Amino acid sequence: MTVTGDDTRVEYRTCPLCEATCGLELHLRGREITLVRGDRDDVFSRGFLCPKGTALKHLEADPDRLRRPQVRRGDRWHEVSWDDAFAEVERGLTPIIEAHGRDAVAAYLGNPSVHHLAGPIYTRVLLQALGTRNVFSASTVDQMPKQVSVGLMFGTMLSVPIPDVDRTDHLLILGANPYASNGSLLTAPDLPGRLEALRARGGKLVVVDPRRSKTAEKADEHLFIRPGTDAHFLFAMVHTLFAERLVDLGDLAGHVEGIDEVERLASGFAPEAVAPLCGIDADAIRRAARELAAAPRAAVYARIGTCTQEFGTLASWLVDVLNVLTGNLDRPGGAMFTKPAAGSATTGGRGGVGRGVKFGRRHSRVRGIPEVYGEIPVVCLAEEIETPGEGQIRALITVAGNPVLSNPEAARLDRALASLDFMVSVDIYRNETTRHADVILPPEAELARAHYDLAFYQLSVRNISRYSPPLVDLEPGELPEWQTLLRLAAIVSGQGAGADIGALDDFVVSGLVDRAVQREGSNVEGRDATELLKELASRQGPERVLDLMLRTGPYGDGFGADPEGLSLEVLEAAPHGIDLGPLEPRIPDVLRTPSGKIELAPEPIVADVDRLRESLSRTVNGQVVLVGRRDLRSNNSWMHNLEILVKGKERCTLHVHPDDADRFGLETGGTARVSSRTGAVDVIVEVTDAIMPGVVSIPHGWGHDVDGMQLSVASGRPGVNSNLLADTTLFDPLSGNAVLNGIPVELAPV
Give the binding site for ligand SF4 (CB under 6 A).
15, 17-18, 20-22, 49-50, 52-53, 182, 189
Identity of the residue, 466 or 700, whose beta carbon is nearer to ligand SF4 in the bound complex: 466
Least spacing, CB of residue 191 vs ligand SF4, in Å? 8
Q: What is the rounded CA–CA span in Å between residue 188 and residue 672? A: 38
Instruction: Determine the angle formed by the axes of helices 282-294 and 230-243, rounding to 10 degrees.
Output: 60
- Tell me the CA distances in angstroms from 432 to 413, 425, 483, one per residue in order: 11, 12, 25
Q: Which of residues 53 and 719 has its CB atom nearest to ligand SF4 in the complex? A: 53
- Closer of 55 and 513 to ligand SF4 (Cβ): 55
Alpha-carbon radius of gyration of the chain: 25
Instruction: Please say whether the beta carbons of 703 and 724 come within 8 A.
Output: yes
Residue nearest to ligand SF4 as judged by C-beta position: 53
d(CA 154, CA 621): 39
Q: Minimum distance between the CB of residue 48 and ligand SF4, rounded to whole angstroms? A: 6
Contact, 596 vs 588, CB < 8 A?
A: yes
| CB nearer to ligand SF4: pick between 53 and 92 | 53
Question: Of 560, 509, 477, 523, nearest to 70 (Cα)?
Answer: 477
| Residue 55 near residue 645, CB atoms below 8 Å | yes
Whichever of 50 and 490 has its CB closer to ligand SF4, that residue is: 50
How distant, in Å, are the alpha carbons of 7, 215, 314, 470, 472 from that of 30?
Answer: 8, 40, 52, 13, 8
Instruction: Compare residues 52 and 544 and give the one whose CB is closer to ligand SF4.
Output: 52
Instruction: Name the residue nearer to ligand SF4 (CB basis): 321 or 455.
Output: 455
Cβ nearer to ligand SF4, comparing 313 with 338: 338
* Smallest distance from ligand SF4 to CB 50, Å: 3
What is the rounded distance in angstroms from the CA atom of residue 510 to the CA atom of residue 293? 50
Crossing angle between the packed helical segments 259-266 and 230-243, to the nearest 10 degrees: 110
C-beta of residue 64 within 8 angstroms of C-beta of residue 710:
yes
CB of 16 to ligand SF4, least distance (A): 8
Q: Select 48 or 269, whichever has its Cβ closest to ligand SF4.
A: 48
Q: Minimum distance from CB of 641 to ligand SF4 (Å)?
A: 16
Identity of the residue, 635 or 741, whose beta carbon is nearer to ligand SF4 in the bound complex: 635
Q: CB of residue 60 vs ligand SF4: minimum separation in angstroms?
A: 14
In the bound complex, what is the minimum distance in angstroms from residue 164's beta carbon to ligand SF4?
Answer: 20
CB 299 within 8 A of CB 206: no
> Closest approach of Cβ 46 to ligand SF4, in Å?
12
**Cα(223)–Cα(280) distance, rounded to whole angstroms?**
7
The 10 Å CB-count burial string (b at 16+, else e) for 197-231 is ebeeeebbbbbbbbbbbbbbebbeebbbbbbbbbb
The least distance separating ligand SF4 from the CB of residue 19, rounded to whole angstroms, comes to 7
Least distance in Å: CB of 453 to ligand SF4? 10
